[in-house]
Structure 1
Amino acid sequence: MTSHPSLPALQRAVIQDANGRAQAADNLPLPQLFPGTVLVKTMAISLNPSDYKMGNRFPSPGSVIGNDFAGAVVAIGPKTSTALSVGDLVFGMVHGSNPADGANGAFAQYVRVPSEFALRVPTGWRPEQAAALGVGLVINCLALWGNALALEPCPDSPAQEPIPVLVYGGSTATGTMAIQLLRLSNLDPIATCSPRNFDMVKGYGAATVFDYSQPDTAERIRKHTGGQLSYALDCITDRDSVGCCYASIGRTGGRYVCLELCAQELQTRRAVKANFPIAYEIFGEDIQLSGGYERKGNRKTRADAVNWFNMLQGLLDEGKLRTHPLQVLTGGLDGIPKGLDLLKSGAVSGKKLVVLIDP
């Protein structure tokens, strides 16, 4: 194992308390390094809805919370073949609040990540910019090119002729990344959001934007697409968003992807194939949750993800992707519980919450 000589024995992290809520804690062990992994000293993290939802739905007291991180490689695990070196700046995501491995989450001073899923921070980027991308990149890869929408065009093999793809919730961090990736694939991203975010969403590449709150939005989308829409990515997943996506898809049907579990009674058309990907699937391991969130490990998904990450690294290095607008929170690890409460309240719109971790 290659490592930095001054690694501590213990660390500070944000864990689930007895009720699944976030609390900062000291004197926790560093995650154990396995073959094929690297240890990263975190410099920044970002907050996702799953960071508080996991504690609500799957309380695992003592488990380290958090998915998205950016930082510096400080150790390389045994039998790890990688081009990374100690000192390299990387970012990505891990399975925080993991009932099967509670010692490893992003909201900590140190995080373990499979080497092939540690993306290099692009030259000139700040850690907080990179930390905002992990989950958004991963879930879009699964949604766009996995078994969900199963699109053939991608940035490395663009479409010959653009076809429309609906991104419901285009002003979310996942939505703006989806729009960029669709545009780079020479597809035609159509978005919904609040009118106050129209300019932002168009700035990321949306061809057309509709006001999600209008009762005739689905009708206007059908008219705009000539009834030919076959693909919809729902970044919100509530009764209104599901209804709009299903009604927007053309008469012959198509594919619908939700980023949260969608109630069966909302899936009103047999001609529309629904799929609910979970970001943790990229690791190829069993996701030991329940109630529709469980997944069996799939080696092909992991292999596909490695290829997607290679493509993403190229796009980042070429300056073809940019992050969602950021809102930097203060307080380091101690500020994360308050940040999660802010995110849960619904008060955050058009911003990605990020936190700098004290050195």
Structure 2
Amino acid sequence: MVEPGAGEIAIHTRAIAVNPFDRAIRAVGDIITPWIGYPAIVGSDVAGEVVAIGTGVSRFEVGDRVLGFAAGSERGHRAAEGAYQTRVVLQEHVTSRIPDALSFEAACVLPLAIATASAALFQQDFLAMRPPSDGAAPTGATLLVWGGSTSVGCNAIQLAVAAGYDVIATASPRNHDYLGKLGARLVFDRNDPNAVASIIKALQGRRTCGAIAIGSGSTRACIDIVAASEGERFVAMVTPPTSFDAVPAGRGRWRTLLPVLVSMVIGNVRLAIRARRKGVRTKFVWGGSPVGNEVGPMVFEAFLPTALAEGRYQAAPRAEIVGDGLEAIPAALERQRRGVSASKLVVTV
């Protein structure tokens, strides 16, 4: 059993959420996370009770209820920091205390999603937006969130609003009211063939701070919109142009992996050409980067605990419990592969 070191805590796991990133590691981890040694313990989203505290930790005590970004899949971190186990070591600066009224199941949907959204919005090499705070004054700028009902989208909306920005988002019509409750000013149907033109029209006379692109086809749409609008011409890309879902883990994967890689390269080149032609900058977001920069403590220490306690921030999207015990994780990942909408799949422990 690994004990927490300096700046770390250990928790007893109560709930874990699954992510597409976890499936990608299982299938193509040697390509996207070559630093991971195998066998490995993955998973990023976890909530539980503090059971041990390392040196230098002042924000937590044994027994505290917390959520945390499990950094086991990040470069330089250990298997003890992966979420898919009953005891997880967490970095203090990417861990937040949760209020008694918030269940572990609801809380565990947040870590990777809020980290990814925060990286896109607040890192200086991305949109470099103003940090979230209590009672932030309006900036007069508008953020476009394409894919607002996704886990990252729900958090990008709330973070941007908390930082004083207007938000225009896209989602299926059934999720429009939900995104409005999270703070989006306008929500458009992402499947409407006129969505791009409608959003460009809605942005007339307004200054954009850029866009965050989530989901299939999102980057192309965002490039066209910010190119036709006033303000920052930057698109933070969360979703690659090709999915790894068709690639099986283990033997035989190279027969399906090679076409996927070729498709991804072609898709990236096409997007780069389109962006360059329209004068738009694009960059892929790495969701774990706040573990190693100022954005992690900005959100997990300075903002999120108080915002959750005061009800100014929602644990979004909704948690859908799909099993109990670590043995339920493979089935949860398979169900996640088939698609979810405005929810995140959670396993209790």
TM-score (norm 1): 0.80
Q: 1:104: how far off?
A: 2.8
**Pairing 1:336–2:318 present:** no
**3-state secondary structure, aligned to 1:190:** strand
Q: 1:254: how far off?
A: 0.9
**3-state secondary structure, aligned to 1:330:** strand
Query: Which residue of 1 is the match for residue 67 of structure 2?
Result: 91
Q: 1:153: how far off?
A: 5.7
CA contact (8 A) 1:63 1:99 kept: no
**3-state secondary structure, aligned to 1:175:** helix
Structure 1 unmatched ranges of 5 or more: 1-29, 285-300
Q: RMSD value over aligned CA atoms?
A: 2.0
Post-superposition CA distance 1:264-289 (Å, at most 9, x none): 321312321112221221222xxxxx
Q: 1:43: how far off?
A: 0.5
**3-state secondary structure, aligned to 1:279:** coil
Name the CA shift for 1:33/1:53 in 2 (closer, same or farther; >3 Å). Answer: same
Query: Partner amino acid for 1:306?
Result: P
Which segment is superposed worse, 178-187 or 63-72? 178-187
Q: Tell me, in whole angstroms, the C-alpha distance in 1 between the residues paired with 2:117 and 2:20.
A: 16
Q: 1:160: how far off?
A: 3.6
Post-superposition CA distance 1:117-137 (Å, at most 9, x none): 221012311111111111122
Q: Tell me, in whole angstroms, the C-alpha distance in 2 between the residues paired with 1:144 and 1:45.
A: 25
Query: Which residue of 2 is the match for residue 81 of structure 1?
Result: 57
Which runs of structure 2 are paired with 1:110-149 in the superposition (5 Å)? 110-147=87-124, 148-149=126-127
Which runs of structure 2 are paired with 1:253-264 in the superposition (5 Å)? 254-261=233-240, 263-264=268-269
CA contact (8 A) 2:129 2:209 kept: no
Query: Partner amino acid for 2:347?
Result: V
Amino-acid identity (%):
30
Name the CA shift for 1:203/1:248 in 2 (closer, same or farther; >3 Å). Answer: same
Larger relative contact order (CA 8 Å, sep ≥ 6): 2
Post-superposition CA distance 1:294-352 (Å, at most 9, x none): xxxxxxx2x34213321222212221111221211123211110000111122x12211
TM-score (norm 2): 0.82
Q: Tell me, in whole angstroms, the C-alpha distance in 2 between the residues paired with 1:352 and 1:31.
A: 29
Q: Tell me, in whole angstroms, the C-alpha distance in 1 between the residues paired with 2:74 and 2:3.
A: 15
Moved over 3 A (4+): 96-100, 227-230, 250-253
Which segment is superposed worse, 244-253 or 319-328? 244-253
Query: Which residue of 2 is the match for residue 245 of structure 1?
Result: 222
The structure where helix makes up a greater share of residues is 2
Q: 1:156: how far off?
A: 4.7
Query: Which residue of 1 is the match for residue 129 of structure 2?
Result: 151
Post-superposition CA distance 1:111-156 (Å, at most 9, x none): 0011222210123111111111111221122111112111126335
Query: Partner amino acid for 1:279?
Result: G
Q: 1:32: how far off?
A: 4.3
Query: Which residue of 2 is the match for residue 56 of structure 1?
Result: 27
Q: Tell me, in whole angstroms, the C-alpha distance in 1 between the residues paired with 2:199 and 2:325.
A: 43
1:192 to 170, 194, 216: 170
